[in-house]
């Protein structure tokens, strides 16, 4: 390759060892990653010869997955990945996160505004769940105030399952 890098790149990203292709890292020519692996600048290597990137590898894997498959990270990782997108000059990733998760947050906000006293009910449920120890399985405690209809109960279940990371 004209950049001096092999087609397959071994990375040490904050202690996490990852392997990817040079074409993945240079997919967006205006990004910092493309500049780093252009051959114009030296890249620091670890003691085993892996190219070193000093960021959290557990967050960076989402950046790599975007470069590979053009998928945005899950909501729980979106804020951190958005910061990395900004840092690495991956504006298309930043915009993708904003579009995907910004729209979802707007829908959640709209739904929460329609749920009477949402925050206090959610905090009550969280407090009750914390009282139980979970060993071999998942215990779901449901609190339903008498004034809430069945559709709201179903919505609460979906939100609560999301809180537990089940959906």
How do the residues of the chain divide into helix, strand and coil, expressed in percent and rounded to 5?
50, 10, 40
Please tell me the distance from the alpha carbon of residue 140 to that of residue 4, in angstroms, as a whole number.
Answer: 55
Query: What is the residue extent of each domain of the chain?
Result: 8-109, 116-164
Residue 69 has pLDDT above 70, yes or no: yes
Measured distance CA(93)–CA(85) in Å, rounded: 6
Could you tell me which CATH number the domain at 8-109 has?
Answer: 3.30.710.10
pLDDT at position 77, please?
93
pLDDT at residue 10 is higher than 80: yes
Task: Report the candidate in 108, 83, 105 with the shortest Cα–Cα distance to residue 93.
Answer: 83
Question: What is the pLDDT, as a whole number, of residue 1?
Answer: 42
Where residue 2 falls among pLDDT bands split at 50, 70, 90? low
Cα 150 to chain centroid distance, Å, stands at 32
């Amino acid at each position: 390759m004209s950049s001096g890098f092999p087609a397959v790149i071994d990375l040490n990203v904050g202690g996490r060892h990852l392997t990817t292709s040079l074409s993945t890292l240079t997919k967006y020519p205006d990004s910092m990653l493309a500049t780093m692996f252009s051959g114009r600048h030296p890249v620091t290597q670890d003691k085993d010869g892996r190219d070193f990137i000093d960021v959290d590898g557990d967050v960076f894997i989402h950046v790599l997955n975007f470069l590979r498959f053009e998928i945005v990270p899950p909501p729980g990782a979106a804020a951190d990945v958005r910061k990395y997108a900004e840092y690495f000059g991956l504006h298309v990733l930043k915009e993708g996160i904003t579009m995907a998760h910004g729209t979802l947050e707007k829908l959640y906000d709209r739904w929460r505004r329609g749920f009477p006293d949402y925050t206090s009910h959610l905090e009550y449920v969280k407090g009750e769940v914390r009282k139980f120890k979970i060993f071999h399985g998942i215990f779901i405690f449901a609190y339903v105030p008498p004034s809430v209809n069945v559709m709201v109960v179903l919505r609460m279940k979906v939100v609560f399952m999301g809180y537990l990371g089940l959906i």
